[in-house]
Amino acid sequence: MYLKELTELFGVSGYEKKVREYIREKIKGRVNLIEEDPLGNLIAMKKGRIDKRLLICAHMDEVGFMVSNIEDDGRLSIISIGGIDPRAIIGKKVIIGEKEIPGIIGFKAIHLQKDEIYEPPKMENIKVDIGVTKKSEAENKVKIGDFVAFSVESKSNERWFSGKALDDRCGCSILMDIIHRDIDLYYDTYFIFSVQEELGLRGAGVSAERIAPDLAIVIETTTSGDNPEFPSDRRSTELGKGPAITFAHSGYVVDERLFRWIIDVARENGIPYQIKRRTVGGTDARRIATTLAGIPSAVISIPARYIHSPMSIINLEDYSNTLKLVSILLTKEARL
Amino acid sequence: MKDLVRKLTEINSPSGRESRIREVILEELKNSIDGYEVDKLGNLIVWKNGKSDKKVLLDAHMDEIGVVSSFIDDKGFIRIEAIGGISAYNLIGSRITFPESGIEGVVGIEGETPQDVQKNLKELNFDKIFVDIGARSREEAEKLVPLGTFGVYSAEFVDLGRRIVSKAMDDRIGCAVLIETIKMSNPYYKLYGAFSVQEEMGLVGASVVAFNINPDFAIALDVTAWSDTPKGYKRMSIELGKGPAIKIKDNASISDRDIVERLRNVAEKNGIPYQIEILIFGGTDAAAIQRTSSGIPSGTLSIPCRYVHSPHEMIDIEDAENAVKLLKALVEEER
């Protein structure tokens, strides 16, 4: 499990370099092929028993921000990269650019607020404070176009893991674990660590086109919604109930044969699983499925609370059950 | 042709669950084609050889909008999510059928006071409605409609004479037009007919069909909106019974100019009524086909349809018959 290192890396969509280098370093020598495509997706392959191809994909990028302007007083205007709730970011620590300059997303203290406390903050009023007072000082440290990531140290005990960027470093970690296990793979298995998923599934499609697999499985980290205040009938998934299996999401109904196959394998092996209940949001599966002459695709996710915020939480049993399920699936011929 | 439309629209096959409708279409066509393929996503592609090597693709999507069960409470009430553009307003007062298990349910709305119900009706969404299949416990409902079971409107085909009504005119009427065109024509081009999947989820099937076939040009057959009801859509001019509509533009694509002119010329030459369509919203498979590979000239021929995406979509059968005549003349025309 590589969650601690992976989630503490800086890898906002469009700037996945550090994550990619880390993964490449950890898996080299364990795969039959490793390459990077022109968009920055990392592709690794392990030979299987038959001459057919399976693509398994997790995205490396995380949501974050980009510096869009440096104000006269040295504070930074930012735009979001991916879907972020501005209410979840004020007062949080961030790091900026190649040199990882520390900063704080500023806000008005409660003492100075009246009714505006009931209004969600607007991105145009949010500034990042990097401890300078002049534009020129700021320009020595950061530049327009620098990426901004949450700065969060992960924490865990035997049951829970918390940190930023679990969506989808969790998936990346699962793929890396599988590469390190000596699994008797059925297919020639292509492990794709994709870029820019959070900006609209931009990376995975070109990898799928390069590899032309017979089928694809996307490993995601998905929203749970099992906060105590949220009614149980409107939750998407729940922590501790096992990997979540998707029947449909935005833009794609998962291949029915694969959906049922995954459930059957989980049942036969006594692995707990849950059906993901909400269909909002999409994954790389939509993009992969519509590539070339069509690639049947499925999605398996680890449930996480508070995703797309500076801090999310997963249950480590869900992690290990997902790893177990995916490991077994990869030894078998898919039902297609 | 009405009988064919009735047969196709009575099949319950929402996006992602097209195997039932695919079998019926294949059965209908198997003696009239030179070959067929079911591709990796489930699209049915049939072909009929022509005199020329050039390929024309006619596409109609065989899926329909629907719902999927997503939660079952202790008493056996079922929460649903939308599959495609289905409105909670159209679900109120409707019945849902879950074809995988043959179970019917009625749609209910939350509300602890009459005022609550009024408020929920005003701001209706899927959080406020549920399906009641008459189960008396969670266990009973879970057995009949497990999570991830797909459903569609339960609504009968109605024959009103020239006008006919069904839950799935969108786009089984396109499928019917395509089937009749394939059966009746001796094409000059090699004619490919694609019955595509998951259009309602965002043109999923059509883009891979076009990649697979790489046709010289393509025409999508789909329904379009209407402007001929009381205070119907302004800024549009589409009426039932005035002929199939040659699409110039919708919100997802602009039809290839050459295809538009050819359709118009063929209609004029053969005395087939037609209308010109500019749809101010919406889109068809043509948008996905057009952008496939290095680009495929594409257009859409539409069947005017009232109350699209409701349980009761109405068309004029003569528009469909004229669409068949127009397409037959087009694919038979030597060039």
Question: pLDDT (tens digit, 9 = 90+) per residue, A293-322?
Answer: 999 999 999 999 999 999 999 999 999 999
Identify which of A248, A275, A293 has the shortest CB distance to residue B208.
A293
Minimal CA separation from B233 to chain A, in Å:
27
**Could you tell me which residues come within 8 angstroms of residue B229 by beta carbon, excluding any fewer than 6 positions away?**
B306
Tell whether the model's pLDDT for residue B21 goes beyond 80.
yes
pLDDT, residue A232, reads 80
A12 backbone φψ class: left, alpha, beta (φ>0; ψ -120 to 50): beta
Inter-chain CB proximity A233 and B211 less than 8 Å: no
Burial class (CB in 10 A: 0-12, 13-18, 19+), B201: buried
Q: In the beta sheet, which residues pair with residue B195? A: B44, B60
Task: Over range B291-309, report the average pLDDT.
Answer: 96
Query: How far is Cα A128 from Cα A75, in angstroms, rounded to an integer?
Result: 6
Q: Residue A26: pLDDT band by 50, 70, 90 thresholds?
A: very high
Q: Are residues A44 and A72 in the same domain?
A: no
Give the pLDDT of residue B73. 95
The model's confidence at residue B328, banded by pLDDT at 50, 70 and 90, is very high
Domain termination site, one of A89, A120, A150 = A150
User: Over the Cα atoms of chain A, what is R_g?
Assistant: 20
Q: Is residue A8 part of a domain?
A: yes
Same domain, A191 and A321: yes
A334: in domain: no
pLDDT, position A95: 97
A290:B204 CB<8 A: yes
Rounded to an integer, what is the distance from CA A111 to the centroid of its chain?
A: 37
Residues A178 and A314 in one domain: yes
Which CATH number covers residue A51? 3.40.630.10
As a whole number, mean pLDDT of residues B293-307 equals 96
Per-residue pLDDT tens digits for A157-188: 999 999 999 999 999 999 999 999 989 999 99
Label residue A108 by pLDDT band (50, 70, 90): confident
Are both A43 and A176 inside the same structural domain? Answer: yes
ipTM for the complex shown: 0.91
Structure tokens at A293: 């002459």
pLDDT band per the 50, 70, 90 thresholds, residue B49: very high
Same domain for A259 and A272, yes or no, is yes
Q: What is the pLDDT of residues B164-223, one digit of tens each?
A: 999 999 999 999 999 999 999 999 999 999 999 999 999 999 989 999 999 999 999 999
Q: Note the pLDDT of residue A247.
A: 97
Q: How far apart, in whole angstroms, are the C-alpha atoms of residue B80 and residue B145?
A: 11
Q: Does residue A229 register a pLDDT over 90? A: no
What pLDDT shows up at residue B199? Answer: 97
Judged by a CB distance cut-off of 8 A, whether residue B73 touches chain A is yes
> Do A56 and A134 fall into the same domain?
no
Contacts of B127 in chain A (CB under 8 A): 234
Instruction: Specify whether the CB–CB gap between B166 and B146 falls below 8 A.
Output: no
Among A85, A119, A150, the domain boundary falls at A150
Given CB atoms, is B110 within the 8 Å cutoff of chain A?
no
The answer for B 159-188 residues in CB contact with A (under 8 A) is none
The pLDDT score that the predictor gives to residue A112 is 84
Q: What is the pLDDT of residues B224-235, one digit of tens each?
A: 999 999 998 888
Chain A residues with CB under 8 Å of B17 CB are 253, 256
Are B239 and B75 spatial neighbours (Cβ–Cβ below 8 Å)? no
pLDDT in tens, A65-100: 999 999 999 999 999 999 999 999 999 999 999 999
Read off the pLDDT of each residue in B239-263 and give the average, rounded to a whole number.
97
pLDDT at residue A248, as a whole number: 97
- Put simply, the answer to whether B83 touches A295 (Cβ < 8 Å) is no
**Cα dihedral A143/A149/A152/A157 (nearest 10):** -150
In a domain, residue A292? The reply is yes
Q: What residue in B sits closest to A291 (Cα-Cα)?
A: B208
Of A150, A178, A203, which one is at a domain's C-terminal end? A150
Q: What is the pLDDT of residues B137-150, one digit of tens each?
A: 999 999 999 999 99
Query: Which pLDDT value is given to residue B265?
Result: 97
Residue among B18, B28, B64, B199 flagged as catalytic: B199
List, in order of start, the domains of chain B with CATH numbers: 2-64+167-332 (3.40.630.10), 66-153 (2.40.30.40)
pLDDT value at B290 more than 90: yes
In the numeric block, which tokens belong to residue A223?
A: 């929203």
- Residue pointed to by tokens 């056996």: B76
Q: Measured between alpha carbons, how far is B125 from B121 in angstroms, rounded to an integer?
A: 9
State chain A's mean pLDDT as an integer: 95
Provide the pLDDT confidence category of residue A117 given band limits of 50, 70 and 90: confident
Model confidence over A7-24: pLDDT tens digits?
A: 999 999 999 999 999 999
- Measured between alpha carbons, how far is A137 from B147 in angstroms, rounded to an integer? 57
Stated pTM of the model:
0.93
**Closest by Cα among A227, A224, A231, A207 to A301:** A224
Q: Name the amino acid, one letter, at A73.
A: D
For the cut 80, the answer to whether the pLDDT of residue A228 exceeds it is no
* Residue among A62, A197, A198, A238 flagged as catalytic: A197
Structural domain including A81 reads 64-150
* Interface contact B284, partner A, CB < 8 A: no
| Cross-chain CB nearest to B81 (options A251, A254, A278) | A278
Total count of domains within chain A:
2
> What pLDDT does residue A227 have?
80
A8 and A73 inside one domain: no
Asked, for residue A98, whether it belongs to a domain, the answer is yes
Q: Supply the mean pLDDT for chain B.
A: 96
What are the residues facing A148 on neighbouring strands? A65, A96
- Which position has the token pair 């893991």? A161
- Residue-level pLDDT at B129: 97
Residues A214 and A250 in one domain: yes
pLDDT at A328 > cutoff 90: yes
Is residue A155 assigned to a domain? no
pLDDT for the residue numbered A315: 97
Tokens 């059968």 identify what position? B317
- Residue A199 counted as domain residue: yes
pLDDT score for A111 = 86
Question: Are A287 and A235 part of one and the same domain?
Answer: yes
pLDDT digits (tens, 9 = 90+) for B268-280: 999 999 999 999 9
Is pLDDT above 90 for A290? yes
Q: Are residues A181 and A244 part of one domain? A: yes
Q: How confident is the model at residue B335 (pLDDT cuts 50, 70, 90)?
A: confident
Pairwise CA distance, residues B138 & B75, whole Å: 5
Same structural domain, A242 and A316:
yes
**pLDDT tens readout for residues A32-65:** 999 999 999 999 999 999 999 999 999 999 999 9
Mention every residue, 6+ apart, whose C-beta is less than 8 A from residue A96: A67, A76, A102, A103, A128, A130, A141, A142, A146, A147, A148
The answer to whether position A157 is within a domain reads no
CB A142 within 8 A of CB A76: yes
CATH number, residue A72: 2.40.30.40
Is A34 domain-assigned?
Answer: yes
What is the sign, positive or negative, of the torsion defined by CA atoms of A299, A305, A310, A315? negative
Give the one of B17, B79, B82 whose C-beta lies nearest to A256's C-beta. B17
**Residue A198 shares a structural domain with residue A89:** no
Active-site residue flag, B199:
yes
Could you tell me the CA-to-CA distances from A219 to A58, A64, B89, B177, B287 in Å, in that order? 5, 21, 35, 41, 29
